[in-house]
Amino acid sequence: MKTFAKVVAVLLVTTVVLCGCTLTRGSHLVIGSTRAPTNPADVRIYTELPAKYEKIAMVSADSRNDFASQQNLSDHAIERLKEEAAKVGANGILLNGFGNYQVGSHGVVIIPNSNGGYSTTGIAAMNASTGKEATGLAIYVPQN
């Protein structure tokens, strides 16, 4: 019985740890001249282009987690977008798009063993998953 309890405890802890992780992905497509990598914390988000800038790359990022708040997903997507921009030497991002996307759905169906009968009753649960995605133009803005 102690072994069963240990297995259940390990499975429970593993499930909690995996459910708490926000998954992020990011990518960039270079369209200009890259620079030395910058610090993601120094990358600024723009909603309008500054007077002087250089185009470096198109960047995109997304985040997903069934149990995270929408704000948490937004924060992670922007953080990853800044990381992608920093890799190519940008110090700014012109935000082109930001919103939700459909990840998919998943569920569990539990059907008890029927004892030779033709009819079985079960329990089902479904969850539709969404995430946040962001796209932008990684730019270098000269410092005055």
CATH of the domain at 48: 3.30.110.70
Provide the residue type at 25 as one letter.
Answer: R
Within-domain flag for 17: no
Which run of H or E residues covers position 70?
helix 70-87
Is a pLDDT exceeding 80 seen at residue 21? no
**How many Cβ atoms are within 10 Å of 44's Cβ, its own excluded?**
13
The closest of 47, 42, 62 to 130, measured between CA atoms, is: 62
Distance CA 56, CA 29 (A): 9
Is a pLDDT exceeding 80 seen at residue 122? no
Is a pLDDT exceeding 80 seen at residue 116? no
pLDDT tens digits, one per residue of 1-17: 567 566 555 555 555 55
More confident residue, 25 or 9: 25
The sign of the torsion formed by the CA atoms of 66, 71, 75, 78 equals positive
Which run of H or E residues covers position 57?
strand 54-64
Q: Are 139 and 96 in contact (CB under 8 A)?
A: no
What's the domain range around 96? 24-103+122-144
Within-domain flag for 137: yes
Per-residue pLDDT, 111: 66
Q: What is the tally of structural domains in the chain?
A: 1
Within-domain flag for 144: yes
Within-domain flag for 113: no
pLDDT tens digits, one per residue of 49-87: 999 999 999 999 999 887 778 888 899 999 999 999 999
Within-domain flag for 16: no
pLDDT tens digits, one per residue of 31-43: 999 999 999 999 9
